[in-house]
Homo-oligomer: A and B are copies of this chain.
Amino acid sequence: MTSSFDFAPLFPAGLPAPSARWTGLAKYSFVGGNNDSEQLPLEGLIEATTSALQREGRSLATYGLAHGPQGYLPLREFLVTKLKRDAGINCTVDDLLIVSGSLQALDLVNATLLTRGDTVIFEQDSYQGSLTRLARLGVNVAGVPLDKDGMRMDVLAATLADLKSRGIRPKYIYTIPTVQNPTGSIMPESRRTELVRLATEYGVPVFEDDCYADLVWSGQRPPAIHAMSESGGVIHIGSFSKSIAPALRVGFIVAPWEVMSRMLALKTDAGSGALEQMVLAAYCKPHFASHVPALTRALRTKLDTLMEALNEQFGTAAEFEEPKGGIFLWVKLPEQVDTLKLYQAALAAGVSINPGPEWSTDKSHSRSRLRLCFASPTHQQIREGVAVLAEVCRKEFGVPARSANVEKRA
């Protein structure tokens, strides 16, 4: 479609740069939160869809299935049970809002609490989508470093004290405590207790993003921070993207009515997709508890393949902590590797990666790091893709000095 009309003079200042045209996924795609298509519970979803539609499909003629702006009631009922069982959260259907993926949850929480010039506290390495939203909103982000148990409480305490001394009350402490993105750590219960104590002391809400929390290798997770707070100063969000299917776009928020009523006033989309809510409710009630362990077992084997491939191809040049669950591995390469440059060169060779600086508040700390999602590629694609990545990295940065492939060929 050609257009001679010039829209450019009409664009307001501050728009993000235009998107490039989409050119498809890379041959070896280690980016984003795509999941293992072999583990998608297809037969169960088909059965759930058919039964839900036969039973109450005609209600699709009414916005929100006439269940109100907080979402389809049976899905909220499932979540009440699931959140109690898995995360220790005591809530009712009135405390739950179904949203169009946890990205809409981020937008609604941010719109309810933030304005330009505000400050929030983040884990130093964190989810790109959360970081880019704050940059667009003009909000300052104070990063707190992580160790193998998640956000460091000594630095959080110092950060809160420092901000207070400068008259700044942060709007929230954002944490992904259960399978942290990108590090894959799980914050132990004792540290959660300390986090709640500090947040209460300083009067700062905790924004708990639990969207990967179903995917824990051991099947055991600590109680949610939401469940441990006596004051109720916690907003908890989650998603079905990682446990069932990302393309469905269904997430949720647990929040007190004071916040919920404000978010509802900002959610002007006439409800999130109702068919997807119906399907999830019908599928999850009987099947969620058995589906998730099967999924995590499959993901765990892919993680093993990825770690093996990295060890084989990169040797000691690739360092990582073994994640406790999830779909990604956070990898440290030698200092000379700039992963933003590696990203470009790898893409040209058919391998897509998430470069570290996009997933961190500290660009120098994350300069040589990258995130690899292992859920979507097959075992063979993982092995081949890592080999290509090592070859590109060697050509561009001289490391790994000799990759496994080269040695084998020699």
A50: which of B17, B46, B101, B205 is its contact (CB, 8 Å)? B46
Which of chain A's residues 201-240 have a Cβ closer than 8 Å to chain B?
205, 229-233
- Bound together, the chains give a CA A268 to CA B349 distance in angstroms of 27
The answer to whether residues A61 and B45 also contact, given A90-B1, A248-B273 and a CB cut-off of 8 A, is: no
Q: Which of A28-36, A151-159, A302-310, A340-348 contacts B (4 or more CB under 8 A)?
A: A28-36
On chain B, the residues within 8 Å of A205 by CB distance are 5, 7, 10
A7: which of B17, B92, B256 is its contact (CB, 8 Å)? B256
Interface: A114 (CB within 8 A): yes
On chain B, the residues within 8 Å of A64 by CB distance are 247
Is B42 a contact partner of A57 (Cβ separation < 8 A)? Answer: yes
Which of chain A's residues 129-152 have a Cβ closer than 8 Å to chain B?
129, 132-133
Which of chain A's residues 301-357 have a Cβ closer than 8 Å to chain B?
none
- Bound together, the chains give a CA A251 to CA B39 distance in angstroms of 30
- Bound together, the chains give a CA A259 to CA B16 distance in angstroms of 12
Q: Chain B's nearest CB lies how many Å from the CB of A6?
A: 8
Most buried by B among A4, A91, A104: A4
A262: which of B11, B54, B266, B279 is its contact (CB, 8 Å)? B11
Is B11 a contact partner of A104 (Cβ separation < 8 A)? Answer: no
A62: which of B8, B104, B264, B376 is its contact (CB, 8 Å)? B376
- Bound together, the chains give a CA A264 to CA B16 distance in angstroms of 10
A34: which of B45, B63, B230 is its contact (CB, 8 Å)? B63
Q: Chain B's nearest CB lies how many Å from the CB of A243?
A: 12
On chain B, the residues within 8 Å of A113 by CB distance are 7, 10-12
Q: Chain B's nearest CB lies how many Å from the CB of A9?
A: 8
Interface: A161 (CB within 8 A): no
- Bound together, the chains give a CA A100 to CA B272 distance in angstroms of 8
The answer to whether residues A92 and B1 also contact, given A11-B113, A60-B245, A112-B11 and a CB cut-off of 8 A, is: yes
Is A5 a contact partner of B231 (Cβ separation < 8 A)? Answer: yes
Q: Which of A65-73, A178-186, A395-403 contacts B (4 or more CB under 8 A)?
A: A65-73
- Bound together, the chains give a CA A261 to CA B33 distance in angstroms of 23
Is B60 a contact partner of A103 (Cβ separation < 8 A)? Answer: no
- Bound together, the chains give a CA A169 to CA B272 distance in angstroms of 35
Q: Chain B's nearest CB lies how many Å from the CB of A114?
A: 7
- Bound together, the chains give a CA A13 to CA B111 distance in angstroms of 11
On chain B, the residues within 8 Å of A17 by CB distance are 265
Interface: A162 (CB within 8 A): no
Interface: A384 (CB within 8 A): no
Interface: A3 (CB within 8 A): yes
On chain B, the residues within 8 Å of A20 by CB distance are 261
On chain B, the residues within 8 Å of A114 by CB distance are 12
- Bound together, the chains give a CA A15 to CA B268 distance in angstroms of 13
Interface: A74 (CB within 8 A): no
Interface: A167 (CB within 8 A): no
CB-CB nearest in chain B for A95: B1
- Bound together, the chains give a CA A12 to CA B11 distance in angstroms of 26
Q: Chain B's nearest CB lies how many Å from the CB of A252?
A: 14
Q: Chain B's nearest CB lies how many Å from the CB of A228?
A: 13
On chain B, the residues within 8 Å of A262 by CB distance are 11, 15-16, 18-19
B-contacting residues of A (Cβ < 8 Å)? 1-8, 10-13, 15-22, 24-25, 32-40, 42, 45-46, 49-50, 53-54, 57-66, 68-70, 90-92, 94-95, 100-101, 103-104, 107, 112-115, 118, 129, 132-133, 169, 171, 205, 229-233, 245-250, 254, 256-259, 261-262, 264-266, 268-276, 279, 376
**29 pairs from A and B in contact (CB 8 Å cutoff):** A1-B95, A4-B232, A5-B229, A6-B258, A7-B258, A15-B112, A16-B265, A16-B266, A17-B265, A18-B261, A20-B261, A22-B69, A25-B62, A34-B62, A37-B59, A37-B61, A46-B54, A49-B53, A60-B246, A61-B245, A61-B376, A100-B272, A101-B269, A247-B273, A249-B270, A249-B272, A249-B273, A250-B273, A273-B276
